[in-house]
Amino acid sequence: MSRETPAQVARALLLKLLAQVDRGGRDSVPIGERSAHAYFALRDLGEGDALHALLESAQAAGGVTLEWGRGAAAQDLRRIRIRDPDQLAAWLGVSRAATQARAILQGLESLMTEAPGWLRDAYADALRQWRRGGAPYRIPGADTARAVNLFKAARAVAAGEQKGLDLRCFGVHLLGDPKALDTLLDPLGTLLRRNPDWSSWEDDTGLFRALGLEKFPPPLFIKGPLVLDYDGVIWDLQPLRPFVALSPDAVRGIQVNTQVPYLMTIENLASFQRQVREVEDHGVVICTAGYPAPALVRILNWLDQVLPADCPCYHWGDRDLGGLRTYDRVAATCGHHRVLPHLMTVPDPIPDPEEAASLVRRGQVAGVMPEASRRSPTGPGSSSSPHPGFRPLGRGWTRDELRALVQTGATEGAAGDLARKWLALGLAPLEQEALDPSSPLAAPLSPYAGPVPEVQP
């Protein structure tokens, strides 16, 4: 590994001092083994003299003051102290943090006045960090273009300008470059989660899919008695088994060519593959591949309009918060049909009540009890004598997940109905691949309409 030259060491020390001052820190850098290790790595007096000459040049320009030892140590540099930060920045040929922040401000000031409140707050926080030499969203203040483009992209997404465009087309529309957003995706995901409506997304993949920020829409996996206008070519899907995979953005129209017994969406591809192979009927079955992308939402909206009003609709997904979110999106898309959950309330084995109460007392699970059991600390709902109706809740759920589940259960709509049933039955998380596929017409499930149980602290 090559050693640093005297010029590199001198510049690094002065840049460190300038950044320190811009952050509101100390006004000097001590020359010690820990604070200036590279200084002591110089091997001979010639290199040391060259380094000192550069530092003395910065001092002559009025940027710093060099403090030396005394007596026998008069040749030892002890400390570099700031004198005029602007003069030092000019000598180094760099902009100070405040100057860099002003350049970012000039690029975004008018745009941010029209941004939603959450984005204005995030911008104000970032600007404060840039003024102090920080690098919010891992973007230093010196990278003005990238900082401006980040907030331009967030502002455009907040306004829905990406709808109907893939990631490359959105990049051209917004910044004139199809690859402009590729290097911004990591900080963009972090920034977009400042929006309270998007803060629950744990990873960028799901969030970007929900917003349509993908290079290409996910394939449409579908089977059933449908006729599609596929980019001007008419396709009859009924004889194509077990399913077809298409590009959803090429679908121009959908028609039904025979009676459809039901429509069902399935969250995961593995379960979809089994469903279409093992359940032989004329149902329309679609894989959402996780949270539905905007292109798939358009297909579902089309089907919602062309299917008869009495056509049953179902969704089969994971029993977790992500599955709940996916179910809610499908149900909201099908405004003309009620979407019921399929195989999402399969009962768990109920442990012995004494064992369940013991688990709660040890803090291994959270508990849900009937209201009557919680009224008296010495009654049948007490820890010493668990109520027969007690069902443990929390096997596999974290407390944050339980809290989110209870909050969802307190809301109206499809997700609230399903969350209340999970809570009432004390159901644990379950991946849908653990279940065998079945026809949704065999045992349609109704939503739970009872009270939301409390999560015991």
- Tens of pLDDT along the chain (457 residues)? 467 898 999 999 999 998 898 888 899 999 988 888 888 888 678 888 899 999 999 999 999 999 999 988 888 899 999 999 999 989 999 889 999 999 999 999 999 998 999 999 999 999 999 999 999 999 999 999 999 999 999 999 999 999 888 899 999 999 999 999 999 999 999 999 999 999 989 889 989 999 999 988 889 999 999 999 999 999 999 999 999 999 998 999 999 988 999 999 999 999 999 999 999 999 999 999 999 999 999 999 999 999 999 999 999 999 999 999 999 999 999 999 999 999 999 887 555 556 555 545 544 444 444 333 333 344 443 433 333 444 455 568 999 999 999 999 999 999 999 999 999 998 999 999 999 999 998 754 444 445 555 554 4
Q: DSSP per residue over 214-250, as a string?
A: SSSPPPEEEESSEEEEETTEEEE-TTS-S-EEE-GGG
Which domains, and CATH codes, for the chain? 6-92 (1.10.10), 97-211 (no CATH), 220-341 (3.40.1360.10), 353-429 (no CATH)
Give residue 337's identity as a one-letter amino acid code: H
Three-state secondary structure call for residue 40: helix
pLDDT on residue 375: 39
Prediction pTM value: 0.71
Question: How far, CA to CA in Å, does 200 sit from each of 161, 249, 282?
Answer: 22, 28, 37
